[in-house]
Structure 1
Amino acid sequence: MNFWIATAIFIISYGLIVSEKIDKTKVALIGAGLMMILKIVSQYEAFYNVEYAIDYNVIFLLIGMMIIVNLLSKTGVFQFLAIKSVKLAKGNPLQILILFVCITAIFSAFLDNVTTVLLLVPVTLFVADELELDPFPFLISEVMASNIGGTATLIGDPPNIMIASKVQLTFLNFICHMAPAIFFVFSFFILTIKLLFGRKLHVKEEIRQKILSIDEYNLIKNPTLLIKSLGVLGIVILGFILHGTLHYEPATIAILGAAILLVISKEDPHHVLKELEWPTLFFFIGLFIIVGGVVKVGLISKLSEGMISLTKPSAENMFVTAIATLWFSAISSAIIDNIPFVASMIPLITNTAHAVLPTTADVKPVIQHSTLMPVWWSLALGSCLGGNGSPVGASANVITISLAEKAGYPMSFKKFIIYAIPITIETIIISTIYIWLRYYVIC
């Protein structure tokens, strides 16, 4: 009986999240509450059990980075970079677009894509207004760049954080395996947006001169806080790179960095903490409990059995499983938010590994088996890049569309997918070639 109740809660919750008729945070918390009140998972299991509980490494890593970026945003550095980009591009709208896209991708790789679009979209709207340009080419290019750039590192996109936490992967693991793929994906993406938007972007000369006259250095509001914030951020990123050697979780490094910056910045913590993305954090918390419930009742086990039957993985080779995971993840993440999708896939792949791969006391855990690793990288690539496929595919998409609508530039579902679907297919094809060459030809 618990199996069907948990499955119903899971499916209904996902349906409501996709429909967006009820706020996703409310849905996640209601679903989590039902899982516990109906005793599908006990409160102890939801909060403390290793197999079913909330992944606190994900939650506290996000909290730490949100605090650091919040304080960094108070310095005006993001506005400075926007105007500086305009000047570097000499007011050429196509060059501005490419620079903005590059800044978005880089920031998304080392911060997180949700925070990056929250900070850069208002700046983009400001520049587009000043240049009297349609912001749509900028916004859709930036949101897709945020998801592409965020794919490159452990901290760039929430699905990567979740995968790394489960599989015990390091920052350097992601740089080594994901960054090369994203280099090729992003290179083709730049060429694509040049073809799509290059002839549509024109600006009047007098308007161009007006924005070039803005002194970007006047936009830096707090130079002292900027130096402190960049110093702490640099140390935190170094900590992420070395965390495998230091034997600290990324969440520990992020929280310590956030605490130090709060102290040395002398900012009121009440104001800083109030501005964090608490709805997103509680969405994660509720979602982890819902997924924990369906893991406990065996739904994920049954799905893993189906995956084994379909792709026929073996202890020697999982090529078909890896490619199937890549495309299935991309398609699914375009339909539903990639965060709940990955939360569901992680235990599915884990169960598949335990069913197929040998276990001994003298080797790494089964989920780190060399045969399985391409499947994890496929999940990361598919879920992060697939999030570009629709307005609801990733949290960064939803936030960008909401900010644009508030500014008077609504982005329709249809217009979004006309551009998003072909680009997403392009990125997944490149990823397929990368997985095949990297792990099954060159190796």
Structure 2
Amino acid sequence: MTIIAVAVFVIAYVLIATEWTHKLLAALGGAAVLLALGVTDSEHAFYSAETGVDWNVIFLLFGMMAIVGVLRRTGVFEYVAIWAAKRAGGSPLRVMILLTLITATASAFLDNVTTVLLIAPVTLLVCDRLGVDPIPFLIAEVMASNIGGAATLIGDPPNIIIASRSGLSFNDFLVHMAPLVVIEMVVFTLVLPRLFKGSFTADPDRVASVLRLNEREAIEDRGLLIKCGAVLLLVFVGFVSHSFLHLEPAVVALLGAGVLVLISKVPTRDYMAAVEWQTLLFFAGLFIMVGALVKTGVVADLAKQVGAVTEGHVLLTVMLILVVSAVLSGVIDNIPYVATMSPVVLELTRSVADPAQAQAFWWALAIGADFGGNATAVGASANVVVIGLALRAGHPISFWAFTRKGVVITAITIAVAAPYLWLRYFAFS
């Protein structure tokens, strides 16, 4: 059974990484094969906390997607983008910096895929008005979304998986990840002018036209915007205080979505259209395949091998997780990578006596996966989404055009993260 579990998982992983077939088909197909062959069963696949579908992840994403589906109708994202362009005085460099900061901030509190879906079309519009190439702006924004999304539990899907597996709370991510993200965004902002050198020359006449835009006209429903703001505030409060309220983040998200749907009276088709059903089903199939590896003992054996390589040296293990996670998350989507590695990290933490150092394993995994997603065009789901939007708008972004910039940013962010982990969890622990 172990050989079958590994073989099916490897085949599915190759299909996902190479995109020879749709990743949903690969994940659900792999799960179906494992169930059909008896490697796992319905009890382990659907009801077990250790080896089954993580319903907390599924319903947290569902709730936030529904909320954003309602929020999209307000026009608030268009408002923010136009406001940023005007506040930047039409300067392409300042526009890029403002939009990346807005994207990073929004990605910390909304799923980064949803954020780039809403910001990218507006960026295309603003760049067209300015007469500049939108490709550098889109690449910068998606990188900022992957960095900013690392700050919170809900910002990046890998974080949701890590939180569910490790028991870390929303507040834990704020305290441990947000300070690093702030540092990384400062560095990222300083690097932008050199990274996209030659991309900031605009037509003066077009700049003047942008400055004449009225951002207030982008707001389509002020009443709905107020309702969305109130619900999002309550949801955020619920995330922060869920350990005191004894409510899981998934429950908070579902309650928020339910309340917003009731008070907004938005047609069902509008907010349900925002739910990425393929993403949710992909997660389900992936969890079942990873659960089969846990059930057959593959994960426990892998954890022992990692421990043997580093000979039990905790700091070395943390750095190994960080670097390997960054490299592999650049080659393949960071979601399946984290789903696979989280049980391994869980096994490794059980052999560490110091709680702070044990947590460092999880932060190394989160940092490596989130920042490593910037390395290539297929490293994170947000990357794929933005490339698709750019192609439909007539601005194709090649794999290597993205990767040339992505590798540089990933190397810089990991180089900054390594001393952060050492100083915080070892030198001054």
* TM category, shorter: over 0.9
Residue 386 of structure 2 is matched in structure 1 by: 400
The 5-angstrom pairing of residues 162-201 of structure 1 reads 162-201=161-200
- Would you say the 8 A contact 2:30–2:289 is kept in 1? yes
Q: Which whole-Å CA distance do the structure 1 matches of 2:77 and 2:357 have between them?
A: 42
Match of 1:339 in 2: 335
Who is 2:21 aligned against? 22
Per-residue CA deviation, residues 338-397 of structure 1 (Å, 9 max, x unaligned), is 11111111111122234x246xxxxxxxxx933311111111111100010111110000
Aligned partner of 1:351 among 347, 363, 368: 347
Give the corresponding residue for 2:255: 256
Q: How does 1:7-406 map to 2 (within 5 A)?
A: 7-313=6-312, 318-354=314-350, 356-357=351-352, 369-406=355-392
2:321 counterpart letter in structure 1: T
3-state SS, counterpart of residue 330 of structure 2? helix
Question: Partners of 1:41 and 1:386 in 2: how far apart?
Answer: 31
Q: Structure 1 residues 125 and 99 mapped into 2: Cα distance closer, same or farther (>3 Å)? A: same
Distance in structure 1 (CA, Å) of the matches to 2:274 and 2:192: 33
Are the counterparts in 2 of residues 337 and 394 from structure 1 also a CA contact under 8 Å? yes
Report the secondary structure of 1:151's partner residue: helix
Q: Does the residue aligned with 1:74 lie in a helix, a strand or coil?
A: helix
TM-score, normalising length: structure 2 = 0.98
Corresponding letter in the other structure for 1:303? L
Counterpart code for 1:406: R
8 Å CA contact 1:388, 1:420 repeated in 2: yes
User: What amino acid maps onto 1:145 in structure 2?
Assistant: A
Q: Which residue pairs with 1:420 in the alignment?
A: 406
Give 1:198 shift.
5.0
Q: Identical aligned pairs, as a percentage?
A: 46
Amino acid at match of 2:80: L
What does residue 361 of structure 1 align with? none
Check the 8 A contact 1:94/1:198 in 2, yes or no: no
Q: Distance in 2 between matches of 1:19 and 1:312?
A: 34
Where does residue 362 of structure 1 map in the other structure? none
Letter in 1 for 2:38: K
Aligned residue identity for 1:375 = F
Following the alignment from structure 1 to structure 2, what is the Cα–Cα distance between the partners of residues 405 and 126? 14
Provide Cα deviations, 1:226-277, integer angstroms capped at 9, x if missing partner: 1001110011011111111211110000000000000000012233213311
In 2, Cα distance between equivalents of 1:233 and 1:370? 32
**Aligned-CA RMSD value:** 1.2
Is contact 2:356–2:425 with CA below 8 Å preserved after alignment?
A: no
Separation of aligned partners in 1, 2:274 and 2:155: 20
Deviations along 1:28-66, one digit per CA (max 9) or x if unpaired, are 111111111111110121000121010111111101110
* C-alpha distance in structure 1 between counterparts of 2:172 and 2:273, whole Å: 34
Is the partner of 1:389 in helix, strand or coil? coil
Q: Which runs of 5+ in 1 are unaligned?
A: 359-367
